[in-house]
A and B are shown apart, each in its own frame.
Chain A
Amino acid sequence: MLKMRAFTALVLCHACVALAEDKPLHTLIDEHFSASASIASRCSDAEFLRRVSLDLTGMTPTADEVREFLADASPDKRIHLVDRLLASPHYARRLAISLDVMLMERRANQQVSQDEWHAWLLKSVRENKPWNVLAREILSSDGDDPALRPAARFALDRGAEPNLLARDVGRIFFGRDLQCAQCHDHPLIDDYRQADYQGLLALVSPGYALVRKEGEKQITVYAEKAGSEIQFESVFDKGVMHRTGPRLIDDVTLDEPFFLPGEEYQVAPADNVKSVPKFSRRAKLAELATSGANRAFNENIANRLWSHMLGRGLVHPADMHHPDNPPVNPALLQLLGERFAAMNYDIRGYLREIALSETYQRTFDMPSDTGVFASLSGPTVEELEQRRALLEQTAKSSYTAYATAADAWREAQSAWLPAASELDAARNQYAEAKKKADETAKALADAQAQLAAKLDTAAPVQQAAVAAQQVIAKLPEDKDLAAAAQKFIERSGQFSAEIAALQKAVEEKTAAHQAPSAALAAAKGPVDAALAKVAPLREAVKTTEQAMLLARRQMWTDATAVKAHNQQVATRQKVTQFAATHQTATAAADVAQAESQGAEFEAARAEVAQHLANDFTLATLKPLSPEQLCWSIFRATGVYDRYWQAEAAELDKASPLSEEQKHDAALVAARQVEIEQRTFDKLKGNVTTFVQLYAAGPGQPQGDFFATADQALFAANGGALNGWTAPAGGNVTERMMSHSEARAAAEELYLAVLNRMPSEAEIADVAAYLANRANDRNVAAQELVWASLTSAEFRFNH
């Protein structure tokens, strides 16, 4: 089998990775796309600047930035740009928003306010907190520690609902949407098993929302109980019971310590009390997921951050990672997961590597003529076809191996189940016995306490009675004393009777406790016996589970290889076919030429382009997120810079930096952070409208593009865009008006809004537009700005 696998691209690439440990990650990324490098070309400087500004800072660059960047002759200017953007305060803002949307999918704030949550994410990004630390905090926080309360938002604002959390932990942290496997094995996806879902559920199901009163206030925390194993059956196969303990995706079932009933807690659950189990599954989940060893966890985040930059995951959608929806390049995904973990989950460093790769810097334009398709390197379609047969054979045999291993595991499960039930029964009986024994023990303790209290009160009275008797013996004539003494003696007698009764009660309770106490001691035996019986059977389950998981991973890898290969072949065939059919120029120089080539050609070209974009040979058109759109409109119109300058001036006035301080890089950077925060706070209210119109609903995946009439109506007739584009305060419209030359006006427009120089044809367009508008040049300029802001070129990141 190994021999056969050597044929796969997967293993070949792996070998070259091993040889090149010290190569930078961006070089390794590019090596994985070497086959298509010949038909891909680099995007222009202007395109790169706009793209990387949007991806790393969440907004388009200013016209001045574009001018400077285009004028910069340094060969390293792209590297310098990436570093500058990553160091800017906008980077933290952009990533905090992106992480927020990824983690919460725009769910409503219930227990943690948006300001608190965003501030925590922002602080984490500014500190460049490693992803695994961030994830560990999110997965383990109970919301009690004020410093980590925002981290608990993931669970608290999902109502601590176990099924929702199981689903979203699976999707968001492991890239697997197991929802359809909740009630049965996934009907369509072979590799999503009900046991996977239930194992994940067992990890989160002990969690619950505890509303705790603290004086006048109420605070909801995410408490945890002691967990038990989950029993389940498939709705397709009723009556056949299965059972699982807590199990992480891609991992074996946890070994949990056994506790007798009543001994599971450090702090037992009670009213208004946050329980603390001795064994916390939540802590274990957080620890195991983030330790660096869980491949699904690593690949998920590597893929999501890739998608953050490239607009499309290597696995897409990001939560549907399985062999029928394989990564575009399985070997690369594995490498990225490993490398990201090895670089200590350094998000900033990882994004930097992606930004520096040629793969990221590719153009979205189709190659200008079909000739280049002939120069595709790598295996031919025939060779690919031959390889497919080998891959399929490998996949088939690893499936057989998996099926065998799965049978063995199921057999071990069936052998274990009755014993596990016996243990349940013994444990329940012990719990019952313990309940009774606890009751009688409590009755005895209460009686003893009553007796002790009585003895304590009686003692001075009885002593006084003895003394009083001595007194009346010495003073027999004193009537008053005799009467008093008589009282003491009487009372002492009463006490004696009461004490006798209480002593009797204690004796009775002691006797009553004997049987339950013995029963409890006796109940321990069956538990021990059941435990002993279960142990080897459980061990067998564990061993077979391990073997099954290994076989499954192999099957996963091999099935993925087949499917990924088939997709490669399909793309290759499409490209070859297209090149053979259309041996003409593919990128028409102008509209007329494109039209002349006909609709069929255009459709074929678009289809090939889509294939190539899905392969990362061409850049993908990425719709701006609602936040990117809003901030970019502010940037393009000039609203943003006006607010920025006002905030900067105000700060300079309130606390001016001395000449010396102005040379202190740290101080200057801190000032920038402050200005950014103040500008953000002033303008952030506008983002809400954009989110309402341009974002998917709360709790829905946020990556899908949609365009609706109400968005276009908002852009056309709403107050926002019409207001921001009206000539004022040195905005782009006003700047355009200041130029009498159409060429200069066109440049102003294109640099500010589309972030590039206009072509001669485009300058002519603008000139023609302005030609008859001498009387209402301001209106005409505003129209041009509006049109550019609503153009497809602005709406997408390319």
Chain B
Amino acid sequence: MNVNYACRSAEHGMARRQFLGAMAATGAGVLSSGLGVFARPAVAEQLASQQKRIVVFNMHGGLSQLESWDPKPGAPTGGPFLAIPTSVPGIQICELLPRTAQQMHHLCLVRGVNTSEDDHGKGAYMMMTGRRQTPAADYPQIGAVAAKTLTPETSALPGHIIITPGGGGGRGNDAAYLGPKYSSVQLGNGNPPQNTVRPESLSESSDSARQGFRQRLNERFLNRRRTAVTEAYTYSYEQAQQLMRQREIFDVAKEPEKDFERYGKHDLGRHCVLARRLLEHGITFVQVSHSNYDTHNENFHFHIEQLGEFDQAFSSFIQDLADRGMLDSTLVVVLSEFGRTPNINQYYGRDHWSRAWSVCLAGCRIPRGAAFGKTNADGTAVEEGQVDHGNLFHTYLQAAGVDSSGSFDIDGRDTPIADPSSHAVTDLLA
């Protein structure tokens, strides 16, 4: 790890480490987060080898559990589709996911989810933060928590990436008290982060000359006074330069053409190839979104269409992670804000349903080829293994090696990482 500091001498690297160590010990400065492990190459390498990553597939609008992970063929609520066998004997899923069924030995179905919240916004908040929304406090999303707990401070790459279906980009407002440092960097329709290309009017030599003079000015100034905040500020420019150098990581076009064929020639396919690329390059957290599952009308037609895309992209993604040995260090979560009603309405639709629905997990400490929890014959209630958003949030973190019962130190305030009144599901942690 090259710490690009001032004259780049080894002494400077040392100085910075010791300096920051001392700063951390004073507990001084007005930084919102510690910089204690700022520049420690050895530690960073060690971390990299064991570093865990998380990828979330957010099925916007509410994926139907009955048309996916928990089919009830033949039941009055079952709908028209069949259940098919999977690569794990005894576990069946909906026929709309034939390729995913062949990856079942890597997956773990959580079929007893009960979140008791049928509002899109509130349900999404609970699933993403592991807590109920409260008026007087805001909580960071799983991506921000992952970025803070799993990303080495030395990383120039952002730890929290959201690939959004539409265009746009910029910084998400999803880190709450963890601060903007851990907010998502949004890749609009999979495009690289904003401002990562040098403008045409600026030559490379011109840019490097001015960066050099900036560093010269900083040397003089910091010789008068160095603090945690000046370090953080000057480091952000180094980070930016490293990010520009590593910009290719965000360029999905660098992936082989045949992968796009395998994943499907559509946005989701491309976003999943990009997610794989980002994870391979050490990005801690990636969220992929697939819209829109809010099927109050024509639930079955929509699920044929949507899950057709998803099945191809997701099964290829899982297969690749497994083949490349990344599943041991990558937690995969497929979630929604809620499921869909067992009852089929007069428009052949299903409505919002949070009492008995499913989440699909894979990787890290999650058991392989398993189905946990059970709903009744009509799928209207959880019979066994009931879990909620709080349990799941703890479980994700524990699976990725984070002690979810720990706390963040936020400006002197001890702030629990996950809802302290909840806990992880031990059966989901091998």
Contact = CB atoms under 8 A, between A and B. Distances in A.
B135 interface: yes
A412 interface: no
Interface stretch (A119-127, A328-336, A778-786): A778-786
Interface stretch (A49-57, A60-68, A259-267, A702-710): A702-710
Given A607-B26, A792-B221, A783 B209 contact: yes
B136 A712 contact: no
A607 B23 contact: yes
A33 interface: no
B213 A783 contact: yes
A614 B28 contact: yes
Given A705-B31, A706-B179, A708-B181, A603 B15 contact: yes
A317 B411 contact: yes
A204 B210 CA distance: 55
A182 interface: yes
A791 B210 CA distance: 11
Interface residues of A, number: 86
Contacts of A554: none
Interface string A569-611: 0000000000000000001101100110011101110110111
B85 interface: no
Contacts of B196: 713, 717
B173 interface: yes
B232 interface: yes
Given A704-B32, A708-B236, A792-B234, A182 B136 contact: yes
Interface stretch (B124-132, B198-206, B255-263, B355-363): B198-206
Interface stretch (B49-57, B222-230, B345-353): B222-230
B14 interface: yes
Contacts of B42: none
B176 to A, nearest CB: 7
Nearest to A714: B195
Contact of B225 (A164, A621, A699, A787): A621
Contacts of B211: 787
Contacts of A609: 225, 227
A606 B226 contact: yes
A238 B179 CA distance: 35
Contact of A791 (B195, B221, B225, B229): B221
Interface string B17-28: 011011101101
B20 to A, nearest CB: 8
A316 B411 CA distance: 10
A191 to B, nearest CB: 15
A393 interface: no
A793 B202 contact: no
Contacts of B175: 697
B156 A709 contact: yes
Contacts of A392: none
A496 to B, nearest CB: 60
Interface stretch (B68-76, B89-97, B239-247): B239-247
Contact of A795 (B21, B207, B233): B233
Interface string A174-186: 0001011010000
A477 to B, nearest CB: 77
B136 A791 contact: no
Contacts of B230: 621, 792, 796
Contact of B173 (A162, A180, A698, A718): A698
B138 interface: yes
Main secondary structure of the interface of A (DSSP, over half): helix
Nearest to A793: B221
In this complex, the member of A701, A769, A783 whose beta carbon has the largest number of chain B beta carbons within 10 angstroms is A783
B29 to A, nearest CB: 6
Given A599-B19, A717-B196, A722-B201, A769 B244 contact: no
Contacts, number: 227
A793 B29 CA distance: 17
Interface in A762-794: 762, 765, 769, 779-780, 783-784, 786-788, 790-793
Nearest to A609: B225
A716 B240 contact: yes
B185 interface: yes
Contact of A706 (B25, B32, B198, B239): B32
B213 A621 contact: no
A180 B223 CA distance: 41
Nearest to B239: A709
Contact of B227 (A594, A610, A697, A786): A610
Contacts of A703: 30
B414 interface: yes
B216 interface: yes
A594 B216 CA distance: 15
Given A699-B138, A712-B239, A795-B233, A706 B213 contact: no
A707 B173 contact: no
Nearest to A182: B136
B214 A787 contact: yes
A590 B220 CA distance: 8
B206 A783 contact: yes
A163 B135 contact: yes
A163 B239 CA distance: 40
A769 B303 CA distance: 64
B143 to A, nearest CB: 14
A50 B11 CA distance: 34
A225 interface: no
Nearest to B221: A793
B137 to A, nearest CB: 6
A524 to B, nearest CB: 39
B23 A707 contact: no
In this complex, the member of B135, B199, B232, B243 whose beta carbon has the largest number of chain A beta carbons within 10 angstroms is B135
A364 interface: yes
Nearest to B175: A697
Contacts of B217: 787-788, 791-793
Contacts of A104: none
Given A603-B18, A710-B193, A164 B236 contact: no
In this complex, the member of A162, A179, A707 whose beta carbon has the largest number of chain B beta carbons within 10 angstroms is A707
Interface in B25-46: 25-26, 28-33
A701 B176 CA distance: 10
Contact of A696 (B23, B180, B195): B180
Contacts of B195: 710, 713-714, 716-718
B223 A591 contact: yes
Contacts of A769: 209, 213
Given A603-B15, A793-B217, A709 B210 contact: no
12 contacts: A163-B136, A312-B30, A587-B224, A598-B15, A606-B19, A610-B26, A710-B171, A710-B195, A713-B196, A762-B220, A769-B209, A792-B221
Given A179-B136, A710-B194, A786-B210, 8 more contacts: A162-B135, A168-B136, A188-B414, A317-B412, A325-B412, A787-B211, A792-B222, A793-B221
